[in-house]
Amino acid sequence: MGNFVPVAGSAATMESGQTPILIWWDYLLASEVGPGVPGLKIVIPSDVSYAAYYDQAISKSAPHPAAARLWEEYLYSTVGQNLWLQGKARPIELSTLVSSGTVDQAAYKALPPAPAGGLTFPSQTQQAAAEAVVAQQWSSVIG
């Protein structure tokens, strides 16, 4: 229909009108693009919400594994989780922060509204199949 623009969307392409619509993770859109685009509206579809977790690990052969464990403990502390929230991300412990009254209210209220109900996470099989398609078609897409 002439609406697809094969460029990497950014604050600049949104401001210029080159990419009037971006399909992107809500926290990236809010934190990286949102502040520079007047009238930007972030909408999370009500019929399906697709989610993914970031994985983190500590190598048992790291020079200072105790320091890495302390960093992980900080990330999942109330302070660390509120920092994720201030970055416009929905921290994994958000429901706990809300129920315990330790949530940063200003940051929480600044999040775009999310529909009620469950999230959809890809299964390992679905994720592997998607990775295979990307690997197979990558050169034709970027070339």
What pLDDT, in 10s, does the model give residues 95-107? Answer: 899 999 999 999 9
Instruction: Extract the tokens encoding 47.
Output: 């019929």
For the entire predicted model, the pTM comes to 0.66
104 vs 43, more confident = 104
* Gap between the terminal Cα atoms of the chain: 23
Q: What is the Cα–Cα distance from 90 to 129, expressed in whole angstroms?
A: 27
What three-state secondary structure class fits 120? strand
Q: What is the Cα–Cα distance from 111 to 44, expressed in whole angstroms?
A: 11
Q: For the ranges 23-32, 80-89, 122-131, which has the lowest average pLDDT?
A: 23-32
What is the structure's pLDDT at 8?
Answer: 78
Region 91-119: mean pLDDT is: 88
Residue 68's identity, in one-letter code, is A
Q: Is the dihedral of CA 108, 113, 118, 121 positive or negative?
A: negative
CA atoms within 13 A on the CB side of 44: 20
Q: How confident is the model at residue 32 (pLDDT cuts 50, 70, 90)?
A: confident
